[in-house]
Amino acid sequence: MQFIWPDNATEAVPGTCPVCANAGPHAPVLLLPDSGPGGADWQIVECPACASRFSTDRAGADYRGDEAPDVTFVHYYMEQGAGLRSMLEPLGFMEPGQGRMLEIGGGFGFPSDYVQTVLGWTAKGYDPSGMAVLGRDYLGLDITRDYWTSDTPLTEPFNVAYASEVIEHIPEPAPFLAAMRHAVGDKGIVALTTPNGAALNPGTTPGMLIPIASPGLHLTLFSAKGLEMALYEAGFANVRVEVHGTTLRALAANIPLPPPRALDDDRYIDYLRRRIVTPDIVAPLLSGLHYRLLKELVNAGRNDEALTLYAEIAVSMRARFGIDIERPEGLILPESGIDGRSWLTLLPGNITGLLYFRAVLANNAEADARAAAFYAGQAALLGASLRRAIRPMGIEDGETELLSMAAIRLHLTASIGIGANAAPLLTLIERGGEDGLLLPISFRKELRQAIIDDLRATHNPNILWQGLLPQDSGELNESELLHRTISAGMPITINPAFTAIEAAQDAESVRAALWAIWTTPRADEAWATISHARKLTLIRLVLLGAHNEATFLFSAWGDAALSRDQSVATALSLAASAVRI
């Protein structure tokens, strides 16, 4: 998908803003050639009054669809595509009780299922798509397969009406907001989310940018100001709009709004655990719930629970796909050029997240940097492979993009931590474009410094030798080099700078090796490197019989870390004994 960002000289476009009714003209902000319905160009403009963005094509899509949607991508949605936590975050204000919630355009209906399962509310859904059928079948929800309008019969107002990522699809937002107000009357609360129109800019990463633009589907991309204006115009007395990165969240009501409140972690985990034990649950839904629970447990530092859960997931993956996610180096990368449907028959859609969070566990809970490097490296490779397979079908996965970035950073940091020479891969990534591992250019530019920061924070002595010095890799690209590294078993290359100290045959050679490290550019920023070199120097001098020199240097340096090091203490004790004799 090609993104063309017009300059200020591009001619403005006449028309009426669907948010604030401003007559324009409106400045073009984005052109997507051949990406609209029927292969037409898709143009997005910005209102000068409310700063909302909207497509010049206002026809909208027909969401009634078939009775049974594409099974492969429904499974992908359940496993990975549905941003479950982000759907539920705006409902953090809701408390357990006997309330009633209307979910509009909820498709599968995860929010409805959550409020019924954990809060004890009653939920009613309206959605015209075939996803509603699956929500009824898989989750047992009460979903009417139709649009909700102001004319829909209403026996009594709902306590909450919720529409997550819906209003951007509507050709005329004002009647839609009026229908939501109709649903809650004067005593209920409207909650909604929608993409943040301001995030439609060249600085947003492709994994996020493509879903925001969604040519042919997303007609109106509100600004925070525009959404607030529209909600007041719909008749709400109290409105709160919050910006959360690429998403806007809003509450509106004619009663005082509840204070902002995040989703309760324990309630969310309780929901996932309850749903996981549902009898006869379909495998992709179980996989998605397992993955989301794993993510929550890892992020909460509940490592033992997370490791137990991962082992359970591994059993199900062996049964379903014949793969062993406990041996990441053995996972086979799908062939280049494979289509999305075929890819998803070989591996689960959440494989990147599963491997990444297992890498975090290996690194943090098990102190096994080698295993962390394997898991994280495969996560990055498979994340790029999945995104490349589904992109031709008009699908992009922003979460997998974020996970891939985190995974490659962890892979490099962990690799350097065990002495592997990660410099060639880091150099390739830094110099590459948005291909290979599909990492955003902005991330590539910042990666080297991020890894230096990671190594500095952990006092890793390899910070200079593997973190700062660029190194060419020959003819390989970044994906090939990463794949070859993992396949070869992560060969370890001991840093020659430190080896020179340990192998020195006399005190003068020790001093020369230490000086080479000390005078490396930016060595003053790498405390861990200098301290480690000092440690090796003291030990080597004692072993060579240069006891007085070792004792003098230890005193002169005044390095607190050396004072606490047992091996240094032992060496200096030997030196002191030798001097007394």
Q: Is residue 22 part of a domain?
A: no
pLDDT at 283: 95
| Domain termination residue (choose one: 487, 518, 541) | 487
Q: Rounded to whole angstroms, how far apart are CA atoms 565 and 175?
A: 71
**Together in a domain, 118 and 238:** yes
**Together in a domain, 191 and 244:** yes
pLDDT at 66: 62
**Together in a domain, 102 and 207:** yes
Retrieve residue 396's tokens: 């992009």
Range of the domain at 448: 282-487
Four-point Cα dihedral 50, 55, 57, 59, nearest 10: -80
| Domain termination residue (choose one: 428, 461, 487) | 487
- Check which CATH number belongs to the domain holding 112 and give it: 3.40.50.150
Per-residue pLDDT of the chain (581 residues; tens, 9 = 90+): 889 999 887 899 999 999 999 998 999 999 999 999 999 999 999 999 999 999 999 998 888 876 667 888 889 999 998 999 999 999 999 999 999 999 999 999 999 999 999 999 999 999 999 888 888 999 999 999 999 999 999 999 999 999 999 999 999 999 999 999 999 999 999 999 999 999 999 999 999 999 999 999 999 999 999 999 999 999 999 999 999 999 999 999 999 999 999 999 999 999 999 999 999 999 999 999 999 999 999 999 999 999 999 999 999 999 999 999 999 888 899 998 999 999 999 999 999 999 999 999 999 999 999 999 999 999 999 999 999 999 998 889 999 999 999 999 999 999 988 888 888 899 999 988 777 899 999 999 999 989 988 888 887 887 766 555 677 767 778 999 999 888 888 776 667 788 899 999 999 999 999 998 888 777 777 777 888 899 999 999 999 999 999 999 999 998 887 888 888 999 999 988 887 65
Sheet of strand 42-46, all strands in order from the earlier edge strand to the far edge = 27-32, 42-46, 53-55, 220-221
**Together in a domain, 428 and 542:** no
Retrieve residue 97's tokens: 């009780």
Q: Rounded to whole angstroms, how far apart are CA atoms 149 and 41?
A: 31
Retrieve residue 369's tokens: 């940097």
| Domain termination residue (choose one: 487, 518, 534) | 487
HSE-up (13 A, CA, CB side) for residue 476: 18
Pairing of strands 42-46, 143-144: unpaired
Q: Is residue 15 part of a domain?
A: no
If one counts the domains in the chain, the total is: 3
**Together in a domain, 302 and 377:** yes
C-alpha 519 chain-centroid distance: 39
**Together in a domain, 383 and 407:** yes
Q: Rounded to whole angstroms, how far apart are CA atoms 568 and 539?
A: 6
Tokens 């290979």 belong to residue: 436
Tokens 């609360």 belong to residue: 189
**Together in a domain, 109 and 168:** yes
- Cβ–Cβ under 8 Å, residues 274 and 139: no
* R_g (Cα) of the chain, nearest Å: 29
Give me the amino acid identity at 18: P
Retrieve residue 392's tokens: 């031709």
Tokens 């609209």 belong to residue: 36
